[in-house]
């Protein structure tokens, strides 16, 4: 019991799990963004094949359970650490100097995380739930019936409120990742005056490439819809 608490329940353990799950979820963002790129080019077939592959290929389905668990663990640990910070104001991550913890993002990681989680719930209800349990029309691709998630996505991106929500939450995600990436590496021990600035810069580039990459897609679809 004590070993289990040490592995999952202590503050230090929670910080390590936050770092590990955060990096894992960040790696998934790369795959997800690449998979969404066909939307920008109006490639209905490619996007639907990607969606079908991600929901039917056995190894991917197995990894998806790890993804769901990581989301849950990251959220639970984040809420715990946020509450702990309010009570005792400990450092959520160890930094080689005070600059990393002086940014707006670092002071509001909990708030940014909550925005990201709320968006994720709405996003998964709109697409993941419908793909798995809803009634999504199908289209024929080389003789196989494939769920037409593309059309459902395009219709969602024709709604201004959803596009605004999506873009705002991607900006929040950008701030969350910009601090979280570098902090995760520092938590895992990659904390050195020589290398940390490069890690922080790479983390910021990654964060905003991901955030802007995702934000551009619904904005482009909506603007294209207005001019059609």
pLDDT at 1: 45
Strand, helix or coil at 141? strand
* Contact status, residue 146 vs residue 138, Cβ threshold 8 Å: yes
Return left, alpha or beta for 175; rule: phi > 0 is left, psi -120 to 50 is alpha, else beta. alpha
Strand, helix or coil at 192? coil
pLDDT at 13: 87
Q: What is the pTM of this model?
A: 0.85
* Contact status, residue 206 vs residue 177, Cβ threshold 8 Å: yes
Q: Where are the alpha helices (DSSP H) in the chain?
A: 2-4, 11-40, 44-56, 58-88, 104-107, 109-123, 129-133, 149-156, 160-187, 196-227
Strand, helix or coil at 10? coil
Place of tokens 């199908």: 138
Instruction: Return the sign of the alpha-carbon dihedral for residues 86, 89, 92, 97.
Output: positive
How many Cα atoms sit within 13 Å of 167 on the Cβ side?
Answer: 14
Ordered structural domains, the chain, with CATH: 2-227 (1.20.1300.10)
How many Cα atoms sit within 13 Å of 69 on the Cβ side?
Answer: 8
What span, in angstroms and rounded, lies between the C-alpha atoms of 183 and 52? 35
pLDDT at 74: 92
Q: How far from 134 is each of 5, 6, 69, 96, 149, CA to CA, in Å?
A: 39, 41, 22, 49, 11
What span, in angstroms and rounded, lies between the C-alpha atoms of 117 and 131? 20
Encode pLDDT of 123-135 as tens digits: 999 999 999 898 9
Helix (H) / strand (E) containing 147: strand 144-147
Reading the chain (228 residues) residue by residue, the pLDDT tens digits are 444 455 556 788 888 999 999 999 999 999 999 999 999 999 999 999 999 999 888 999 899 999 999 999 999 988 888 887 777 665 544 444 445 445 777 788 888 888 899 999 999 999 999 998 989 999 999 899 999 999 999 999 999 999 999 999 999 999 999 988 888 988 888 777 888 888 889 999 999 999 999 999 999 999 999 997
pLDDT at 8: 57
144 phi, psi to nearest 5 deg = -110, 140
pLDDT at 94: 47
pLDDT at 5: 53
pLDDT at 173: 94
What span, in angstroms and rounded, lies between the C-alpha atoms of 58 and 162? 32
98 phi, psi to nearest 5 deg = -85, -10
Residues 6+ apart with CB under 8 A from 223: none
């Amino acid at each position: 019991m004590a070993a289990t608490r040490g592995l999952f329940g202590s503050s230090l353990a929670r910080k390590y799990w936050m770092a590990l799950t955060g990096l894992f979820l960040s790696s998934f963002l790369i795959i997800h963004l690449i998979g969404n790129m066909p939307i920008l080019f109006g490639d209905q077939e490619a996007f639907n094949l990607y969606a079908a592959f991600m929901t039917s290929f056995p190894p991917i389905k197995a990894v998806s359970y790890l993804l769901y668990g990581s989301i849950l663990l990251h959220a639970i640990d984040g809420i715990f650490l946020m509450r702990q910070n309010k009570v005792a104001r400990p450092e959520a991550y160890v930094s080689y100097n005070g600059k990393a913890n002086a940014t707006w993002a670092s002071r509001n990681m909990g708030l940014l995380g909550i925005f990201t989680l709320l968006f994720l719930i709405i996003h998964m209800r709109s697409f993941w739930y419908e793909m798995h349990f809803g009634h999504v029309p199908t289209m024929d691709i080389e003789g196989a019936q494939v769920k037409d998630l593309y059309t459902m996505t395009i219709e969602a991106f024709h709604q201004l409120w959803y596009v605004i929500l999506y873009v705002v939450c991607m900006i929040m995600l950008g701030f969350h990742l910009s601090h979280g990436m570098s902090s995760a590496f520092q938590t895992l021990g990659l904390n050195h005056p020589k290398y940390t600035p490069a890690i922080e810069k790479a983390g910021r580039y990654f964060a905003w490439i991901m955030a802007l990459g995702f934000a551009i897609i619904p904005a482009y679809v909506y603007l294209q819809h207005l001019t059609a």
